[in-house]
Amino acid sequence: MCSNQQRDPQYAELEEFINEIPDKTSSLIAVLHKAQEIFGYLPEDVQRFVAKKLNQPVSEVNGVVTFYSYFTETPTGKHVINVCMGTACFVKGSADILDEFERKLGIKVGETTPDGKYTLQVLRCVGACGLAPVVTVNDRVYGHFTKQMVVKTLDEYNE
């Protein structure tokens, strides 16, 4: 660890998590999930740290980070809003819901509000087609979502 990382409680928390894993050979995705939970995203220095601790090439760690859409290399807002654009959700109006979120937040897909509170993203399928259209905020799933629910949902996270 470099000296900045030694003093950083986030790196210490991640290192403790890694040290508690009995078999590190197949733990990369779990470690990346934990790292993203701790840091909010996976910048290059965090990826290098994980690679070193798991004794894996940085290129392999970065390959996993860039392959899976769950992982991000850029900071996100405190609340990440995902609008499902899979076929069932799209047919039931998810494009209108996305437009309403863009309008209310003043941002486009992939952007974060200037105050760092919200990031707006799309997903190709949440896997909850029976609840279409689906919106997730952080880890919470909202089914049968309507355009009219946008303001209420944002108000819920403004508290």
Residue ranges at the known binding site for [2Fe-2S] cluster: 84, 89, 125, 129
SS (H, E, C) 61-74: HHHHHHHCCCCCCC
Q: Which residues are annotated as a binding site?
A: 84, 89, 125, 129
Are the CB atoms for 77 and 116 separated by under 8 Å?
yes
For the chain, how big is the Rg over CA atoms in Å? Answer: 18
The closest of 155, 156, 126, 152 to 141, measured between CA atoms, is 126
> Counting Cβ atoms within 10 Å, is residue 137 exposed (0-12), middle (13-18) or buried (19+)?
middle
Are the CB atoms for 66 and 104 separated by under 8 Å?
no
